[in-house]
């Protein structure tokens, strides 16, 4: 397929964070863009403001006729939508070749210098940091982000086409469509077992991704992962290592040791050792690309973060409200480590919405251990996303496994009352479903109270 010959782009699941970045790309390139999504959101509203036509019913009658021209129309879907979705089936029956989002990213990036960030955790933050570093170093690049950058208030950044920055998503083996010049793997923890079946199969897919590098490409791996490449880590013997870590007024100050030099007095504002690791690999990739180190150090200090990644909504002396996308036990552990490091003496109430029945089932014991670390827990019902219920897998079942005295299963409409009843000074909301909708209500209530 030659993208230049395409005039119309139809996206099934257009409101997804990755799909919406593609939609913005094609709108910027003056294509007619339309699509379907299950529910309206701030993302779909923003796309509509840019000229995209979006509807929220799975109804083929709502597809404009201009998108039925096979020669001039590109149809893209996300594997997160049901396989029997009427619109998806409709285009297939008409003889359209429908493309996964990852396949189109592969086509867009193949003729540019491509940075790809892979890993079961840390992709979005790392990609966003890397994009910010390249922006501040005036590199002509296009970035497709898996979250909304706080610096640019978007998940799509266009500064040129010589370089592309993308997340390499392991779900449905999507990242095997990419051919990067420089790639990193942040983690290989078991996840998406509904797709892979076993953790070892998932790890094999990361090894296959490493082989997708272009000739003479560079691979970075977190120290300890079973892959060969340029290593990075914290206070260890990696090729790139963070040393001399201090915290000054909630900001990390540290040095980075490379094989050639030591970069001193680097400042970074995101809490958590996992975010230090994300910052390090973004910095290392930019250094290897040829960006001036001191300019990178300055840029790192101005990175504001990604929405829903340890995002402060209220931050006063008496009350703190933090929201995070954490939906895997290791991500919850990272959130806990970060909040304990920054606030060692404050009581923390966690509010968690499990995401997917299969993930809850596959990692129930790990979820139980990670959630039991907090002082108190409010557990919401499982957010199903693309799945149908699994018999016996419920939040009540998960709650019974959690060894914490102060724990409750609650409905969304109870959250504000339960927070008022709590003596916690810090409230953390976590999950990949629609819990962010509740954060707005909590913020409104407690901004007044605090």
Buried b (16+ CB within 10 A) or exposed e, 195-217: ebeeeeebbebbeebbebbeeeb
User: 293-301 and 273-289 are packed helices; what angle lies between their axes, rounded to 10 degrees?
Assistant: 150
Q: Is the dihedral of CA 339, 344, 350, 355 positive or negative?
A: positive
Q: What is the DSSP letter of 29?
A: T
Q: Where are the alpha helices (DSSP H) in 343-433?
A: 357-362, 364-371, 395-401, 415-421
Per-residue pLDDT at 147 = 92
Per-residue pLDDT at 450 = 47
CB atoms inside a 10 Å sphere around CB 415: 21
Write down the residue that tokens 């509509």 correspond to: 48
- Go through the chain and tell me how many residues it has: 450
CB atoms inside a 10 Å sphere around CB 315: 12
Token pair of 348 as six digits: 């923390």
Strands 262-268 and 251-257, by their bridges, are antiparallel
Q: How far apart are the first and last CA of the chain?
A: 56
Predicted structure pTM score: 0.86
Token pair of 18 as six digits: 């990755």
DSSP codes of every residue in 412-433: GGGHHHHHHH---SEEEEE-SS
110-301 CATH choice from 3.20.20.140, 3.40.1190.10, 3.30.70.1150, 3.40.190.10: 3.40.1190.10
Intervals of the chain under pLDDT 50 = 450
d(CA 404, CA 368): 9
The domain ranges of the chain are 3-99, 110-301, 311-449
Write down the residue that tokens 């977190």 correspond to: 222
- What CATH code is assigned to 311-449? 3.90.190.20
Per-residue pLDDT at 379 = 98
- Name the residue among 163, 206, 165, 201 with its Cα closest to residue 185: 206
d(CA 116, CA 178): 8
Per-residue pLDDT at 385 = 85
d(CA 417, CA 427): 13
- What CATH code is assigned to 3-99? 3.40.50.720
The answer to whether residues 163 and 135 touch, using CB atoms and an 8 Å cutoff, is no
């Amino acid at each position: 397929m030659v993208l230049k010959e395409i005039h119309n782009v139809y996206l099934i699941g257009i409101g997804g964070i990755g799909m919406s970045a593609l939609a913005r790309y094609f709108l910027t390139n003056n294509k007619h863009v339309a699509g379907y999504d299950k529910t309206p959101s701030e993302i779909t509203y923003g796309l509509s403001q840019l000229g995209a036509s979006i509807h929220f019913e799975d109804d083929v009658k709502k597809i404009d006729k201009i998108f039925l021209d096979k020669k001039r129309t590109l149809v893209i879907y996300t594997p997160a939508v049901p396989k029997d979705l009427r619109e998806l089936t409709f285009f297939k029956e008409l003889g359209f070749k429908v493309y996964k989002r990852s396949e189109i990213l592969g086509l867009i990036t193949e003729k540019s210098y491509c940075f790809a960030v892979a890993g079961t955790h840390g992709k979005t933050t790392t990609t966003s940091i890397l994009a910010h570093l390249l922006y501040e170093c005036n590199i002509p690049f296009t970035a497709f982000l898996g979250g909304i950058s706080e610096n640019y208030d978007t998940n799509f950044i266009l500064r040129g086409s010589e370089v592309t920055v993308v997340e390499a998503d392991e779900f449905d083996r999507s990242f095997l469509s990419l051919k990067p010049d420089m790639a990193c793997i942040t983690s290989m923890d078991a996840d998406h077992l509904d797709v892979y079946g076993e953790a070892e199969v998932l790890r094999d897919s990361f090894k296959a991704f490493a082989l997708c590098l272009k000739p003479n490409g560079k691979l970075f791996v977190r120290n300890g992962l079973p892959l060969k490449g340029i290593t990075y880590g914290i206070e260890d013997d990696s090729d790139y290592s963070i040393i001399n870590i201090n915290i000054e007024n909630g900001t990390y100050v540290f040095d980075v040791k490379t094989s050639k030099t030591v970069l001193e007095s680097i400042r970074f504002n995101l809490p958590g050792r996992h975010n230090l690791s994300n910052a390090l690999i973004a910095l290392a990739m930019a250094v290897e690309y040829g960006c001036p180190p001191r300019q990178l150090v300055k840029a790192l200090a101005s990175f504001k973060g990604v929405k829903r990644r340890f995002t402060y909504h209220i931050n006063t002396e008496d009350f703190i409200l933090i929201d995070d996308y954490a939906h895997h036990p290791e991500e919850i552990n990272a959130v806990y480590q970060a909040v304990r490091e920054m606030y060692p003496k404050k009581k923390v109430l966690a509010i968690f919405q499990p995401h997917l029945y299969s993930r809850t089932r596959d990692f129930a014991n790990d979820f139980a251990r990670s959630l039991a670390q907090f002082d108190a827990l409010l557990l919401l019902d499982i957010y199903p996303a693309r799945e149908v219920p699994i018999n016996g897998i419920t939040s009540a079942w998960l709650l019974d496994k959690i060894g914490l005295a102060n724990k409750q299963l609650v409905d969304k409409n109870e959250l504000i009352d339960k927070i008022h009843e709590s003596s916690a000074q810090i409230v953390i909301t976590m999950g990949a479903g629609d819990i962010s909708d509740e954060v707005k209500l909590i913020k409104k209530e407690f901004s007044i109270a605090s």
